Amino acid sequence: MTAASASPLRLGIAGLGTVGIGVVKIIQRHADLLAARSGRPVVITAVSARDRTKNRDADLSNYAWEVDPVTLATRDDVDVFVELMGGHEGAARAATEAALAAGKDVVTANKALLAHHGHALAEMAEAAGRVIRFEAAVAGGIPVIKALTEGLAGNQIRRVMGVMNGTCNYILTRMETAGLPYDTVFEEARQLGYLEADPNLDVGGIDAGHKLAILAAIAFGTKVSFDDVVLEGIGRISIDDIRRAGDMGYKIKLLGVAQMTGRGLEQRMTPCLVPDSSPLGQLQGGTNMVVLEGDSVGQIVLRGAGAGEGPTASAVMGDVLDLARGLRLPTFGQPAATLSTPVAAVASAPAAYYLRLQLMDKPGALAKVATVLGDAGVSISRMRQYGHADTSAPVLIVTHKTTRDAIDVAIARFPATNVVEGEPVAIRIEEV
Amino acid sequence: MTAASASPLRLGIAGLGTVGIGVVKIIQRHADLLAARSGRPVVITAVSARDRTKNRDADLSNYAWEVDPVTLATRDDVDVFVELMGGHEGAARAATEAALAAGKDVVTANKALLAHHGHALAEMAEAAGRVIRFEAAVAGGIPVIKALTEGLAGNQIRRVMGVMNGTCNYILTRMETAGLPYDTVFEEARQLGYLEADPNLDVGGIDAGHKLAILAAIAFGTKVSFDDVVLEGIGRISIDDIRRAGDMGYKIKLLGVAQMTGRGLEQRMTPCLVPDSSPLGQLQGGTNMVVLEGDSVGQIVLRGAGAGEGPTASAVMGDVLDLARGLRLPTFGQPAATLSTPVAAVASAPAAYYLRLQLMDKPGALAKVATVLGDAGVSISRMRQYGHADTSAPVLIVTHKTTRDAIDVAIARFPATNVVEGEPVAIRIEEV
């Protein structure tokens, strides 16, 4: 039997935005290539989107049009429901559930849906004997779900890290290179169309947090638990901190970290300092990077475009080809019933911290700060005091490994010294 | 049915060197994890190695011992033959063929075997309805075979590049950082045990060339054709060139490049210059890096340990888990009968070149060199002449994009100018 005569894999695509049209274009452009690789034709039978009249950059005339994505998802001539609408409730959720109930496999790029309802959907899929694939939900074109679930399946995963929101990395990189404050670059990003309609999804770390929660579930065999992700956005990062951190040999990144510790599962999506010579430190602009650490493999670093038509459509097609080839796995890599309920770590693992504080020009000021830190159990690794024309001067401190609690104790005691002006800044330095 | 009660996947492992013992250790240490992920126990039933009496860092007492790997490969209680002996003829080839003929799947780390006999083995496997997996054969722990074959399956691949021999990258990095000549560092590497018994496999680019040939077959849907790989080792790289290239903003790497051009399939494993700020340029020591470029995904960069017990065993186990989970694909991603016979490109694609020549201190010397280059169709982008106390001085030239033929024509004409001393050095600058 040749590829052309084998039974085709029939897709129903809901959502014809950038990614949806990207998928349509690949299927039209590479029909022969896809058939050769999967041993059968990959075809689109029906599509759906909010606005049929919108001018789109692809010929859709050969596909049936459905107004309702639920109807699309349950059509008899659809084998795989491709959900590219987004949003974790409403149409995306309803159509995904309907597709599974109707015995369809699902491919989705929807990180919010997976982060909020991934476990329930995994159970539904297994009950129906179907699978959900979601490579495009995390880090765009980088095949990180596959690398983690399959490639590194022989490893106990120690830690997963990632810069997974290109907009945040663009903003931080642009602040640094152009010397512009956060608000200015934020506005630039908005005008360039880089920000979600609700920008807090980007700069508040929510979008990247969704991705981290998905990776953590696969890495540690736990039920996806987005509510346990500690989120801190980039809105409070100042150009000063970017410069000062640079002086000390670091870059500031919105970095996701998930690790299983003795005190539970730690999931953080927060600004961190990383060495500027590390792969994460060297990551510029909108590119994404994911770091996977396993007990046998050591550290694997994956880098690529985290968004955009081509990269995201590439990830969707990777999933589609897997299904066309008969490669089928449980949603999070193992049966949903075997995923454990994670205990969220109440505190993050010890780390070095970067501290920036404004020290008044008084005799013994530095000694007072050092004493407060010492009393809180924080020891100083490196310190730098800047020259000043003013009555106060910035002081930078890199601590030895300590806990966030100890840092917070010290910060709470600084006002009583009467030598620290304003609010000190403390940022974790992640060992990468 | 629980994972523990499902039918086990039974391995027969031939070769108990570093990698083989690494695989044994993972299976012993992570029995529960592997069973949870694959839905069935993964067990070893029999092993074989040249020397039974050798003291090994693992308890093998529960496994049957076979003297002959062919006998091991065909045992009734073996489902998957794990070939970790190495060598492209002899026992490794015979046992692999015997395993396929006996209806076993094969997992191998043997790049030489795949590069030389991959197509014939793929045909045998398909005829027998079995599969051959070889993630560990390329770039150690980096799941690059999976990323290329599956993750990027929706892409027409434009180019595959890689630094895939850690020993060569160690030597080049060490020459640079310690300022030591090639011969000294080569000897160091030998004493550290970094070199193969036949060091030409490493420094001659053969080992890395095997890996490139395998990647090219998958990327371009062609029969693996190692004989068409243009090989050039690192033995002629001088500390001078490393320093001079550094002055111009480049690093020298033993870089594999495969691309399909209008004039055929180009496969090169040769020293190249890459910008020192690029991910490839920043790669230090024994780490490997593979760059995959697709028409939709753009550029994906994968970085990790390219050798060693843990990383290589991790790759072997990724393949084993795929088989345990029922994930099965043709050897090179599509049926062997659909792979085309590649036409080897007769010349490499145009590129900029780095030229180093020793110019005599004579009036008009530089003009003569520039004229020869211009007449050969080579135009100069940047040039740097070094001060000198001698009768001649080094001159560095970075050309605009040109062909290797034009460079060779110019080099052949230099002696007639009577102003160029010795043999000029020309190294391709790869656009990354």
Structural contact between residues B401 and B429, judged by C-beta atoms closer than 8 angstroms: no
Predicted confidence (pLDDT) at residue B5 exceeds the cutoff of 80:
no
Closest Cβ–Cβ partner in A147, A297, A328 for B147:
A147
Interval B303-317: pLDDT, tens: 999 999 999 999 999
> Residue B318: which of A34, A151, A321 has the nearest Cβ?
A151
Which residues in chain A have their CB less than 8 angstroms from residue B294's CB?
314
β-strands A298-305, B298-305 pairing: antiparallel
Q: What is the pLDDT of residue B225?
A: 97
> Which positions in chain A touch B305 (Cβ < 8 Å)?
297-299
Is A300's CB within 8 Å of B143's CB?
yes
* Cβ atoms of B65 and B44 closer than 8 Å: no
| Catalytic (active-site) positions of A | 211
Q: If you count residue pairs, one on A and one on B, with CB atoms under 8 Å apart, how many are there?
A: 187
Q: How far is A324 from chain B (nearest CA, A)?
A: 11
Angstroms from B154 CA to nearest CA on chain A: 5
The mean per-residue pLDDT over the stretch A65-78 comes to: 98
Q: Return d(Cα A151, Cα A314) in angstroms, integer.
A: 19
Q: Of the candidates A357, A372, A150, A323, which has an alpha carbon nearest to the alpha carbon of residue B145?
A: A150
Could you report the predicted ipTM of this complex, rounded to two decimals?
0.96
Quote the DSSP letter at residue B273: E
pLDDT in tens, A113-148: 999 999 999 999 999 999 999 999 999 999 999 999
Give the pLDDT of residue B391. Answer: 85
> Burial of B200 by CB count in 10 Å (0-12 exposed, 13-18 middle, 19+ buried)?
middle
Residues A92, A113 contacting (CB under 8 angstroms): yes
Rounded to a whole number of angstroms, the distance from the CA of A387 to the nearest CA of chain B is: 32
pLDDT in tens, A348-386: 999 999 999 999 988 899 999 999 999 999 999 999 988
Would you give the DSSP letter of residue A343?
Answer: P
Instruction: Say yes or no for a CB contact (<8 Å) between B333 and A37.
Output: yes
Selected catalytic residue, list B104, B111, B146, B211: B211
Q: Given an 8 Å threshold on Cβ–Cβ distance, is A301 in contact with B302?
A: yes
Q: What confidence tens digit (pLDDT) does each residue in B330-352 have?
A: 999 999 999 999 999 988 999 99
B304 neighbourhood in chain A, CB within 8 Å: 297-301
Of A146, A311, A321, the CB nearest to B146: A146
Nearest CA of chain B to the CA of A335: how many Å?
A: 8
Average of per-residue pLDDT across B134-147: 98
Nearest by Cα to B211 from B177, B257, B265: B257
Nearest by CB to A37, which of B147, B153, B325?
B153
| Contacts with B36 from chain A: Cβ below 8 Å | 221, 334, 338
Tell me the CB-side half-sphere exposure of residue A230, using CA atoms within 13 A: 18
pLDDT tops 80 at residue A218: yes
Taking contacts as CB-CB distances below 8 angstroms, the residues of chain B near A33 are 156, 221
Q: What is the pLDDT of residues A35-55, one digit of tens each?
A: 999 999 999 999 999 999 898
Residue A163 has pLDDT above 90, yes or no: yes
Residues of A in contact with B38 (CB under 8 A): 153
Give the DSSP per-residue string, A169-184: HHHHHHHHHHT--HHH
Q: What is the pLDDT of residues A401-422, one digit of tens each?
A: 999 999 999 999 999 999 999 9
Structure tokens belonging to residue A345: 């770590």
Domains of chain B: 9-108 (3.40.50.720), 144-305 (3.30.360.10), 352-429 (3.30.70.260)
At A263, phi and psi to the nearest 5?
-105, 15
Over 80: is that where the pLDDT of B1 sits?
Answer: no
Q: What per-residue confidence (pLDDT) applies to A3?
A: 65
Residue B387 confidence class, pLDDT cut points 50, 70, 90: confident
In 3D, which of A137, A129, A77 has the Cα closest to residue A107?
Answer: A137
C-alpha–C-alpha distance, residues A28 and A42, integer Å: 10
Nearest Cα to Cα of residue A134 among A300, A335, A297, A332:
A332
Instruction: Write out the DSSP string of B290-339.
Output: EEEEETTTEEEEEEEE-SSHHHHHHHHHHHHHHHHTT----TTSS-GGGP
CA torsion through residues B184, B188, B190, B194, sign: negative
> Which whole number is the average pLDDT over B136-160?
98
Report the pLDDT value the prediction gives residue A390, as an integer from 0 to 100.
78
Rounded to a whole number of angstroms, the distance from the CA of A205 to the nearest CA of chain B is: 24
Nearest-CA residue of chain B relative to A301? B303
Average pLDDT of every residue of chain A = 95
Contacts of B328 in chain A (CB under 8 A): 326-327
Interface mutation target, options B158, B296, B302, B332, chain A, most CBs of A under 10 Å:
B296
- What is the average pLDDT across A21-28? 98
Closest CA to A123 of A335, A415, A340: A335
A143 and B141 in contact by Cβ < 8 A?
no
**Residue A5: pLDDT over 80:** no
Residue percentage of chain A with pLDDT more than 70:
99
Best residue in A37, A146, A158, A301 to probe B by mutation, most B CBs within 10 Å? A37
Asked whether the predicted pLDDT for residue A1 surpasses 60, the reply is no
- Phi then psi dihedrals of residue A288, to 5 deg: -105, 155
Cβ count within 10 A of residue B67: 10
Better-predicted residue by pLDDT, B1 or A18: A18
pLDDT recorded at residue A2: 60
Strand order, beta sheet including B132-133 = B64-66, B42-48, B9-14, B80-83, B105-108, B132-133
pLDDT at A28: 98
Q: Which of A34, A295, A314 sits opposite B152 (nearest CB)?
A: A314
Q: Are the beta carbons of B421 and B359 closer than 8 angstroms?
A: yes
Residues B255 and B159: their CA atoms lie apart, in Å, by 13
Measured between CA atoms, how close is B322 to chain A, in angstroms? Answer: 7
User: Which pLDDT score is estimated for A4?
Assistant: 62
**Contact assignment for A299 to B304 by CB distance below 8 Å:** yes
pLDDT of res. A308: 93
